[in-house]
Structure 1
Amino acid sequence: MQNENNLDNLEDLDLKKEEDSISKVNIDRFKERDGVSLKKLGFGLWYLEHQKGLMLTVYIFLGLIGFVTWFSFFKTFGHYVLIGMKEDQALVASMINNSGIKHSEVVKTAPQELQVGTAEVLLNSNGTYDIVIKIKNINSRYYSRFSYFILFNNEKLGPFNDFILPEEEKYLMLLDQKLSRRPSSVSLEVEHSWTKLDGHKIKEWAEYRDNYIDFIVDNKVFSNPKESNLSEKLNLSSVKFDLTNNSAYSYYELSLDILLYSRGRLASVNQYPIERIESGETRGIDITWPGKVNRADNIEVVPNIDIMKDNITYIP
């Protein structure tokens, strides 16, 4: 009997040791060689336990999105029905009733035509004619490169090309024209190509122009054929003056329009080219002037240069 009790005690002791050894095993260190891991099994068990709650959360989230979407749609559609349709009808009605831009507004913004003076026709000693027409551009923000024709006695000369800057007053000169007879009346026909100034580059035109076109003409002297002593047989006068480029720019070329006045009336005209004149340079000009001009009490020298062209200046 005592042996049986001892045997039972030994069995209980072995079972207790086995339980203690099992409790000391680290399950996290256990790795399955095949199949699903314990972590995945644990996640699957957790998902099954909380499946209803998760699905309910998804349904609530989707329901909120649908509610916001439909609410936005009905709000926008309702606003259009109540207000937007009336605004569209008013807009269509205003477009139908609108007669467009008024002609007077177009005229205000469009460039105005040149002011054209009376043509001067001068007879030269060799029988040719010089035709001089004074023009003025009254536009402050437009310049033009144009072609023109001279009309007279049912004849038409041209085309000739020229330019005019904003607010510029200049002369159109046709020199040594061989005509059958002196024109009784002369008119001008112009074909413009107007260009508006770039407001970002040129804000104040007068300041911009004066920075580029700044020439000083000094010591003007006219000598008639008797005084010039250039020739005993030919009527050759001379015109002398000093030209100073007072601007900050050196120019490849420009031309000078020269007009002689006698007793307040235009007596003779000429043009003189200038090549490569540097900033600050003073150049003496001496021109032999053909024709019989006995007196010139005023000499007008006008620099003629298109400062709106590219590549007209250089760095010495």
Structure 2
Amino acid sequence: MAFGKQKTDENSFSGYKDVSGEFSNKMFQRAYWIVTHKIFLRNLLISALVFWCVISLGYSIFVWVKYFTVDYFEDEAMRAQQTIDLPDYTRIQAMYAAKKLKFSGTNIFKSAEDSYDFVTTVQNPNTRFLATVTYHYSYSGEKTATASAVILPKKENMLAVLGQKVDRAPSRGRLVIEHINWQRIRNHAIPDIEKHMEARLQFLVDDFDVVYTRAGSETVPTVEFSITNASYYSFWEPQFYIELLKGNNTAAVLPLFVNKFMSEETRTFELHPIMPIKNITNIRVLPNVNIFDTTTFME
């Protein structure tokens, strides 16, 4: 048993009493430890930051050195290879662009005194392109009025200027194309374009005959035939070119306008060329209608 006054430990917290209830003995111990080790904690934080900076800077230097000594040259080689392997989009565009129209030679026919017809047959080889051609003819230092025609996909039509008044017989005529407007027919609008056209272009020609009559000293033909609109579509005023043939050769081209050509209707026609034309063996009827224009059809 010890006698006398007992020595009190200055670091002892057992005698601390929290009278407020807001700062416990354990919290006081933690706060005391932080205060007494503040310099140690600061040095530890600085050491950690220095270590992180050294690692980051060292890694950055390593990456940059590696890039300029190895990766840079690999990137340049890859860039050069990409340039070589880059697709030629001009060729791809050419694959999907419209093919050129095919023109026959220009024919000149005398249609009346001091009047001539200029005619060129044109074919559209494209499946999904509609061509609108603006053109005129030049001849003997003169030129005709400007005209336009629609060439349906995979179809043939005529670029004609009929009844051109001239002072003297033109020795030759030259077709001058002013502009071609291409209209692409989208798949989602018309999936089967061939059936779409076939359903509307059902003009059947029958009862062809040629009757020759004397007119003074000349023999003038009367061309008779019938056209049936065998489709389910009625047309407001379809136009046709009637090509008079001598064997396989074109003798003349005559225009034909039909007013309100109803579905499943048959019309009989008589055409009277002004100029005497002999030995007509057949005719060819070319519809000159734009079936992709909804205003062409009657409701």
Measured against the shorter chain, the TM-score band is: 0.5 to 0.7
1-structure distance, mates of 2:140, 2:164: 14
Change (3 A) 1:291 1:185: closer
Residue 302 of structure 1 aligns with an amino acid whose one-letter code is L
1-structure distance, mates of 2:210, 2:78: 72
Q: Which residue of 1 aligns with 2:237?
A: 253
Question: Does the alignment pair 1:168 with 2:168?
Answer: no
Structure 1 window deviating more from structure 2 (284-293 vs 193-202): it is 284-293
What secondary structure, in the 3-state scheme, does the structure 1 residue paired with 2:120 have?
Answer: strand
Residue 259 of structure 2 aligns with an amino acid whose one-letter code is E
Q: Which has the higher helix share?
A: 1
Question: Does the alignment pair 1:159 with 2:143?
Answer: no
What secondary structure, in the 3-state scheme, does the structure 2 residue paired with 1:285 have?
Answer: strand
Question: Does the alignment pair 1:114 with 2:101?
Answer: yes
- Deviation at 1:254? 0.4
What secondary structure, in the 3-state scheme, does the structure 2 residue paired with 1:192 have?
Answer: strand
**Alpha-carbon contact 2:114-2:169 (below 8 Å) kept:** no
Q: TM-score, normalised by structure 1?
A: 0.64
Q: TM-score, normalised by structure 2?
A: 0.67
- Deviation at 1:120? 0.9
Residue 213 of structure 1 aligns with an amino acid whose one-letter code is L
**Alpha-carbon contact 1:235-1:291 (below 8 Å) kept:** no
- Deviation at 1:125? 4.2
- Deviation at 1:264? 3.3
Matching of residues 1-316 of structure 1 within 5 Å: 101-190=88-177, 191-226=179-214, 231-232=215-216, 236-315=220-299
Structure 1 window deviating more from structure 2 (173-182 vs 190-199): it is 173-182
**Alpha-carbon contact 1:237-1:288 (below 8 Å) kept:** yes
- Deviation at 1:197? 0.6
Residue 254 of structure 1 aligns with an amino acid whose one-letter code is P
What secondary structure, in the 3-state scheme, does the structure 1 residue paired with 2:145 have?
Answer: strand
What secondary structure, in the 3-state scheme, does the structure 1 residue paired with 2:95 have?
Answer: helix
Residue 224 of structure 1 aligns with an amino acid whose one-letter code is Y
**Alpha-carbon contact 2:120-2:160 (below 8 Å) kept:** yes
**Alpha-carbon contact 2:144-2:164 (below 8 Å) kept:** no
**Alpha-carbon contact 2:206-2:226 (below 8 Å) kept:** yes
Structure 1 window deviating more from structure 2 (194-203 vs 147-156): it is 147-156
Change (3 A) 1:113 1:180: farther
**Alpha-carbon contact 1:224-1:295 (below 8 Å) kept:** no
**Alpha-carbon contact 1:128-1:176 (below 8 Å) kept:** yes
Q: Which residue of 1 aligns with 2:59?
A: none
2-structure distance, mates of 1:263, 1:162: 27
Q: Which residue of 2 aligns with 1:67?
A: none
Structure with higher Rg: it is 1
**Structure 1: gaps (5+ residues):** 1-80
Residue 205 of structure 2 aligns with an amino acid whose one-letter code is V
2-structure distance, mates of 1:117, 1:131: 12
**Alpha-carbon contact 2:115-2:164 (below 8 Å) kept:** yes
Aligned residues: 228
- Deviation at 1:179? 2.5
Change (3 A) 1:153 1:98: farther
**Structure 2: gaps (5+ residues):** 1-62, 64-71
Residue 146 of structure 1 aligns with an amino acid whose one-letter code is V
2-structure distance, mates of 1:252, 1:92: 62
Deviating runs (4+, > 6 A) in structure 1? Answer: 88-98
- Deviation at 1:236? 4.2
Residue 175 of structure 1 aligns with an amino acid whose one-letter code is L
1-structure distance, mates of 2:296, 2:143: 32
**Alpha-carbon contact 1:141-1:166 (below 8 Å) kept:** yes
Residues 77-126 of structure 1, C-alpha deviation per residue, up to 9 Å, x if partnerless? xxxx9xxxx9x999977776676644322222111111010111112341
Task: Kindly report the root-mean-square deviation, in angstroms, between the aligned alpha carbons of the 2 structures.
Answer: 2.9
Residues 47-93 of structure 1, C-alpha deviation per residue, up to 9 Å, x if partnerless? xxxxxxxxxxxxxxxxxxxxxxxxxxxxxxxxxx9xxxx9x999977
Change (3 A) 1:93 1:155: same
2-structure distance, mates of 1:199, 1:89: 43
2-structure distance, mates of 1:91, 1:182: 69
Residue 261 of structure 2 aligns with an amino acid whose one-letter code is I
2-structure distance, mates of 1:90, 1:247: 64
2-structure distance, mates of 1:263, 1:307: 30
Seq. identity, % = 24
